Structure 1
Amino acid sequence: MTRPMENCGFATALRAIEGKWKVDILCELGTAARRFGRLRQAIPAISEKMLAQQLRELEADGLVSRTTYPETPPKVVYSLTERGAALNVAAEALCQWGLRYGDDAGQVEARAVASA
């Protein structure tokens, strides 16, 4: 027997962005394709190891593409795929919700921390 949430599109979308830094990475790539170093500069709190890991996961999920140019040293550029761009568009509604109900969302955050 399947649970109701297993086939829920919302749950699928949440699993795609699961991880502390994926939303930040998707937002940055939503403005322009970027090299690894530029992404690292744009998200200063993320470690290089975590950025590399999150990018690999986003690439495996088909949300980010990695293009390597045959130069010395090699040039690698990350960009959103069509699927990743569509997820960013869908996430915009959640961003607007957070802006509108930010004070209430703080209560949700406090409950999540307290129950952890």
Structure 2
Amino acid sequence: MKKLLVVPVLALFLISFQANAQSSKTEILNEVASKNATTVKFKITGITCAGCSNAIYNALKEVDGVLEHSVEYPGDIAVIEFDDSKTTVKALKTIIEGKGFKAEVIKEKA
């Protein structure tokens, strides 16, 4: 009877250990990505509906290096946090303009 209990306990232990290892790996990757993280804000001209903002949002979602992003309608603002070792502001602007919109970087005031 004791042998039957050892197998499930051992299996649970191994699963728990693997989950902890995966969690640690994810934390390390997020920490490395945040060191290269840059945030850019675009004023987008031509957004007329939520479908327009969704089209831009989905296009940015596919870009390697985009960590987080939002596209506001109304407001016509896109805020993009990206890994500057994988993509650039110019490339992000090109993606937005490729969808048929005009994008201008909003400079932050000091």
Same fold, TM exceeding 0.5? no
RCO comparison, higher one (Cα < 8 Å, 6+): 2
Question: Per the shorter chain, which TM-score range?
Answer: under 0.3
TM-score by length of 2: 0.27
Structure whose CA Rg is larger: 2
TM-score by length of 1: 0.26
